[in-house]
Amino acid sequence: MLNRDDDILQAAEDWRNAGHGVALATVVETWGSAPRPAGSSLVINDDGTFLGSVSGGCVEGAVVTEALDVIQSGEPKLLEFGVADETAWQVGLSCGGTIRVFVEKVD
């Protein structure tokens, strides 16, 4: 079913063990009609390869870009996406909801 993030976290571990830089992005809060519930995750490696999702596909591109920064810096980030966000025109959620995504490096 839709809540199975099983293979995603295993992929993060495998990538890390293979020497990749890896970041984990997790939906930590949602308001309104957010497409994926809290706990949904996206894993990204330093090739820009990603698995999983934090939305219906609307903000993944932006999350991947931020995740590459996090892999570089090692500092976690809290991202917010929604119609009120100033970047909404580029990467807002079409459903009208708002989500917060925590991005952290696996190290």
Partner 1 sequence: MKLSTLTELNAERAARRPAIVVTDISSGEQRLVKAADFAADPLRDALAKQLRMGKSGSVEVDGKKLFLNVHAPTAKLVIVGAVHISQALAPLARSLGYDVTVVDPRTAFASVERFPDVPLIAEWPELALPPLNVDHYTAFVAVTHDPKIDDPALLHAFARDCFYIGALGSKKTHARRADRLKAQGASDSDIAKIHAPIGLAIGAVSPSEIAVSIMAEITATLRLPKASAS
Footprint of partner 1 (CB under 8 A)? 1, 3-4, 6, 9-10, 12-13, 16-17, 24, 26, 28-29, 37-39, 75-76, 78, 102, 104-107
**Among 58, 46, 44, 41, which Cα is nearest to 2's?**
41
Compare residues 3 and 89 and give the one whose CB is closer to partner 1.
Answer: 3
Cβ neighbours of 95 (radius 10 Å) = 16
Of 18 and 86, nearer to partner 1 (C-beta) is 18
Q: Which is nearer to partner 1, 3 or 90 (CB)?
A: 3
Q: Which two tokens stand for residue 104?
A: 């952290």
**Residue 49 beta carbon to partner 1: minimum distance, rounded to whole angstroms:** 17
- Nearest-approach distance from CB 39 to partner 1, in angstroms: 3
**DSSP annotation of 95:** T
Helix, strand, or coil here: 12?
helix
Question: Among all chains, which residue has been given the structure tokens 């970041």?
Answer: 23
Give me the least distance between CB of 89 and partner 1, in Å please. Answer: 26
Q: How far is the CB of 106 from partner 1 (least distance, A)?
A: 5
Contact criterion met (CB below 8 Å) for 88 and 82 = yes
